[in-house]
Structure 1
Amino acid sequence: MTGDRVLRGVGVGRRGVVGPVAQVQPAPFVQDDAPLLVDGVPADPATARQVVDDAFTHVVDDLRAQSARATGTVRDVLAATAQMADDKALRSQVLTRVAAGDHVVHAVDGVVAMFATMFEQAGGYLAERVTDLHSVRDRVVARALGLPAPGVPALDRPSVVVARDLAPADTAALDLDNVLAIVTELGGPTGHTAIIAGQLGLPCLVQVPFATTLQDGTEVAVDAAAGTVTVDPDDALRAELARRAQAEDALAADEAPGATADGHAVQLLANIGTPQDAERVAGTAVEGVGLFRTEVLFLERTTAPTRDEQARAYAQALAAMGERKVVVRTLDAGADKPLAFATQPDEENPALGVRGYRLVRRDPELLDVQLAALGAAQSEAGTPPWVMAPMVSTAAEARDFAARARAHGIATVGVMVEVPAAALRAREILAEVDFVSLGTNDLAQYTMATDRLRGELADLLDPWQPAVLDLVDATARAGQELHKPVGVCGESASDPLLALVLVGLGVTSLSMSAGAVPAVRYALRHHTRAQCATIAAAALAAPSAEAARAAVVALLVPEVRATLGV
């Protein structure tokens, strides 16, 4: 039924498409002893230094121009890459080597390799930035040597973009009119490229071996739900993907509030990063915002935004959503999401370091100013936000945060459950706050002792992992016993099958990208609460992630199985 060759990887999203391959232009290959020519003449070190300096400036200006034309997460990723290209230490070390007579390629490679090693050793967010760093290297070298710029080629027809690893800056600059899907050999399902692809509504597959061996123009079927790339798909597969696409488009017509078939309400919310994101999702059928990632407001700054700057942004988001619920997460930054004014550079293990709520130990003013801004925004917009802290591990931390928030007039206070300690002591934590929200991406990372950015370990980060489900179950049961809301704002909320499990466990709200809401709503509306509980029990009893998902598929009502193509 399928073509001659099927490649498998990790899917992001649910869509399936068919189209020709467009391979991304690889990094320029240049012998590091080949002379840099200016007007056909080998350049002396001083001239070479100026050429490389100009190349850095051009790359920075180009990235900033792209950022200015973009919005939301895309804009922020481009701005972050531009800031990396404009890093004074990176540029000065390269220029020093070139001025001393080092060849351009050797100088750039050497300095970038040193920075990349530092980033990889730091782990977390910095490790993910290595892809951006290599993108900057490739752009600078190509510009300095007058070679074609690496990255996505100009597309003259709708295509499937294929690369070994696609830099987020390249993803953000895609010509959306001509991009059907993204396929990479490397990367991870929670990396920047996958997140941006999700925001743009593009099917995405990562960790697909041999993807770069596909020839330009080859017709392939990309099925994000199945995690497959099928070469030369036959008519049956094309028809099946077209049927699924039509069915999912039809789901968007249903704008009813989230609920099970027997009327049990489940709030379906959106994840956002900026006030502009709030304005965008306000026009969709979501019941509010379940995660406002406020750290986006702090990125790429040398000093923290003022109380008034923050208040304006928060008020804009609250006003955009009107009377709908808005859950604001306080600054989730620190060692693994470096800020110029908050980073602790000497941490040996940033993922386990001073991040999220733990910043209050070292810089309590950051949190106090943010809470004051939220209080001011509440007064201006006339809508009270729900406010939660990230990376809370103990009931004492929850108690302290609640006291700080309420002192600034915040009435509804919660915390994130992202580490096993918080899940295991959820009852004690919920006694101190009004609600909790499960961040299943980090919860899986810490439960499975697996860096969420290591794509080759994606199977361990699967939210269907039994140990992760056990911790979600423990948290949800604590919420039911204390009659307090328990939400999920990790990627697992966007999986319509896993959504049934979460509701069956007692989760009261699901927050995801706005585009994922229709399929989740559909799945819930075709199963009763009792059916969800049965489905959840089957998942909990399964011995593996694969067995858990299979057990759920077996219990789906036939209509949902057919419509969602599972």
Structure 2
Amino acid sequence: MSETLTGVGVSAGVGYGRTLRLTRSVPEPPAGSRHDGDVAAETRRAMAAVEETAVDLTERGERAGGEAKDVLTAQALMARDPALAGDVERRIAEGTAAARAVFDAFTQYRDMLANAGAYLAARVADLDDVRDRIVARLLGVPLPGIPESGDPFVLLAQDLAPADTALLDPERVLAFVTREGGPTSHTAILARALGLPAVVACEGSEKIADGAQVLVDGATGEVVVAPEPDVVERAEARAAARASAARRSRGPGRTADGHHVPLLANVGGPKDLPAALENGAEGVGLYRTEFLFLDRADAPTHEEQVAAYRAVLEAFPGAKVVVRTLDAGADKPLAFLPAPAEEPNPALGERGLRMMRLFPDMLDAQLAALAEAHRDTEADLQVMAPMVTDVEDTEWFAATAARAGIEQAGIMVEVPAAALRAAHLAESAAFFSIGTNDLTQYACAADREIGTLSRFQDPWQPGVVELVALTAAAAEGAGRPCGVCGEAAADPALACVLVGLGVSTLSMGAAALPMVRAALAAHTLEQCQAAATAVRAARTADDARRAARDALPGLADLGL
């Protein structure tokens, strides 16, 4: 009998086939296990397993390339973390056996991450995987990994570690479903990069039997167990229509009646440029510069920064390149800055611009590097600050940027207070960019890494749509551009609604560009505005989705 489960779709596409489950087969070392008294030998054994694990992760990253390389390099750094190594050595010195010492040290750090805000909570699965790989080596058991199969399959898991996800073969794995995880986890990011249909935070998926036939729709988040043949046929037809529309999608972003909506890419550095260009990005709407600063002992040099920024600017001559200043602090700590005081909720703490106001020299150095990188390029450089809350923040950042020679200084709107007072902030900000991921999290008081709160982590929530509408209207009233750079922009239906609300540019992961371009091209600006009006009148997020579909008839023809 058919059964439909619903999770969070994080990578569009349809996969249909029998299931196999990834199990973490590494046993927990016995509590209280002791070594034979040779502390030095036991420590050497532990550190050798740590280093072998780090090398293996690095090599996997080299084979995978792209975003996977960065993720697995970060995992290798976790393995080599000096604080963790020190904790392991201390436990061994107290008599604990190496495998148990590693297990306990990593578990303690894991619990700290799980309670340290969205960014670090998303790294829990990464840390668990590193721990299990080290422990497996010490116990002499097989490393955890993807099940072997001669036939393609749908992968089920409690969660997937980056080392597993990065090396998934799309020829063997049709799709994957996890019980845990969130839309911003490394697993979700890598699934999108691989183009694998994926659903996370799927309650009940742990009960699906091995070998069951399932249909996974990574766009809707639906997982159908034992689907009827006609259900599979319709889903595969929709997927084929989407793929065909994406292949045909070319040129600038425009509505059917010619209203231009620049479609931009979110990037983390020069490595993301090939995918952005291949998918027709008209510029960059979000350059996440923190990836240049994270997971290193020292701040990047002026020359390193200039080179990384210039590479992106030179790739888009005459086009808009929006750079976000360093978004770090609290839940994304930097090793080369003093550790912040312990915060009960780092997601609401000293991060983004708040952190840079504590360390203005760091911001000054970044802005100086951006100004130099922009010289002799033809890109339209715009620089924005994250985590801006009020007029004082906005004025301070605008003045700081102006002193560095940055001509266009704007702000991210992700704090509800900024959206509510956007008309006042527009007096000092050259532009707005709405970060719908954090705006949704803060407006709905729902940590986006907690799968059980997925219905609140939804940009279709009427309260979130209203905040976007207020911001766009304030920007229009002040003659300021207003873009969206969160995951909402990557949803083709919601992208049309955002344009109808008055958003002027849309920025997203490169893989989403073709379908958003196709959705806009299938509708007039008037239809987008009618959809926006209908969505604002909706009482629930599901009602909003239905209202948008009713007002946007071209979506069905695109398989959406």
TM-score w.r.t. the length of structure 2 is 0.94
Residue number among 81, 95, 102 corresponding to 1:87 in the alignment: 81
Determine helix, strand or coil for the equivalent of 2:353. helix
Q: Distance in 2 between matches of 1:33 and 1:408?
A: 57
Alignment of 1:129-148 (within 5 A): 129-148=123-142
Q: Which residue of 1 aligns with 2:198?
A: 204
Q: Does the aligned pair in 2 maintain the 1:27–1:138 contact within 8 Å? A: no
| Alignment map for 1:422-501 (pairs within 5 Å) | 422-501=418-497
Higher mean displacement: 406-415 or 102-111? 102-111
- Residue among 262, 268, 272 paired with 1:267: 262
Matched residue of 1:174: which SS? coil
Q: Distance in 2 between matches of 1:72 and 1:475?
A: 35
Specify the alignment match of 2:290 in structure 1: 295
Say if 2:37 and 2:95, in contact at 8 Å, map to a contact too: no
On the 8 A contact 1:205/1:224 being kept in 2, the answer is yes
Q: Contact 1:52–1:144 at 8 Å: present in 2 too?
A: yes
Asked if residue 32 in structure 1 is aligned to residue 27 in structure 2, the reply is no
Any unmatched runs of 5+ in structure 2?
Answer: none
Tell me how far apart the structure 1 counterparts of residues 163 and 455 of structure 2 sit (CA, whole Å).
26
**In 1, distance between residues paired with 2:11 and 2:531?**
22
Q: Secondary structure at the match of 2:278?
A: coil
Superposed counterparts of 1:544-555, under 5 Å: 544-555=540-551
Using the TM superposition, give the Cα deviation of residue 31 of structure 1 relative to its aligned residue in structure 2, in angstroms: 5.4
Residues 240 and 559, structure 2, Cα contact 8 Å, conserved in 1: no
Cα 1:12–1:142 shift into 2, 3 Å = same
* 1:170 equivalent in alignment to 2:168: no
Counterpart CA distance in 1 for 2:83 and 2:332 is 19
Gapped regions of structure 1 (runs ≥ 5): none
C-alpha separation in 2, matches of 1:127 and 1:343 = 21
Aligned-pair RMSD on alpha carbons? 2.2
Q: 1:403 aligns with which of 399, 409, 415?
A: 399
Shift in Å at residue 346 of structure 1? 2.0
Contact 1:23 1:212 in 2 (8 A): no
Say if 1:384 and 1:411, in contact at 8 Å, map to a contact too: no
Preserved contact between residue 265 and residue 286 of structure 2 (Cα < 8 Å)? yes
Tell me if the contact between 2:19 and 2:212 (Cα under 8 Å) persists in the aligned partners.
Answer: yes
How many angstroms apart in 2 are the aligned matches of 1:44 and 1:214?
47
Q: Structure 1, residues 516-566: CA drift from partner, whole Å, max 9, x if none?
A: 122212222222212211111111111111111122122221x4224334x
Matches within 5 A, 1:142-541: 142-154=136-148, 156-252=150-246, 253-342=248-337, 344-348=339-343, 349-541=345-537
Which whole-Å CA distance do the structure 1 matches of 2:59 and 2:529 have between them?
Answer: 51
Q: How far off is 1:85 after superposition?
A: 1.0
Cα distance, 1:156 vs structure 2: 4.3
Cα distance in 1 for partners of 2:257, 2:8 equals 34
* Equivalent position amino acid for 1:9 in 2: G
Deviates more, 1:333-342 or 1:24-33: 24-33
Q: Distance in 1 between matches of 2:550 and 2:378?
A: 47
Give the counterpart letter for 1:178 in structure 2: R
SS at match of 2:528: helix
State how 1:4-19 maps to structure 2 within 5 Å: 4-19=2-17
Structure 2 CA distance, aligned partners of 1:434 and 1:442? 21
Aligned partner of residue 415 in structure 1, secondary structure: strand
- Counterpart check, 1:107 vs 2:101: yes
- Between the two proteins, the alignment pairs up a number of residues equal to 558
Task: Pick which of 497-506 and 392-401 moved more.
Answer: 392-401
CA distance in 2, matches of 1:165, 1:461: 19
Change (3 A) 1:316 1:46: same
Deviation at 1:149, TM superposition (A): 0.5
CA distance in 1, matches of 2:510, 2:42: 49
Q: Secondary structure at the match of 2:328?
A: coil
Counterpart CA distance in 1 for 2:521 and 2:546 is 21
User: Structure 2: how far apart are the matches of 1:5 and 1:303?
Assistant: 52
Equivalent in 42, 55, 62 of residue 49 of structure 2: 55
How far has the Cα of 1:219 moved from its partner?
A: 3.1
Percent same amino acid among aligned pairs? Answer: 47
Q: Which amino acid aligns with 2:538?
A: A
CA deviation after TM superposition for structure 1 residue 46, in Å: 4.8
Query: How far did 1:33 drift?
Result: 6.2
Shift of 1:215: 4.1
2:60 counterpart residue number? 66
SS in 1 for 2:199: strand
Are the aligned partners of 1:112 and 1:133 in contact in 2 as well (CA < 8 Å)? yes
**Alpha-carbon separation, structure 1, partners of 2:376 and 2:150:** 48
Paired residues of 2:239 and 2:559 also in contact (CA < 8 A) = no
Residues 343 and 123 of structure 1: is their aligned pair in 2 closer, same or farther, counting only changes over 3 Å? Answer: farther
Q: Tell me which residue corresponds to 1:560.
A: 555
Which string of whole-angstrom CA distances, capped at 9 and with x for unpartnered residues, describes residues 163-200 of structure 1? 10112332223234433222101111222211221222
Letter of the structure 1 residue corresponding to residue 11 of structure 2: G
Q: Give the conservation status (yes or no) of the 8 Å contact 1:276–1:317.
A: no
Q: Which amino acid aligns with 2:427?
A: A
AA of the residue aligned to 1:147: V
**Aligned match of 1:125:** 119
Which stretch shows the higher mean deviation, 319-328 or 471-480? 319-328
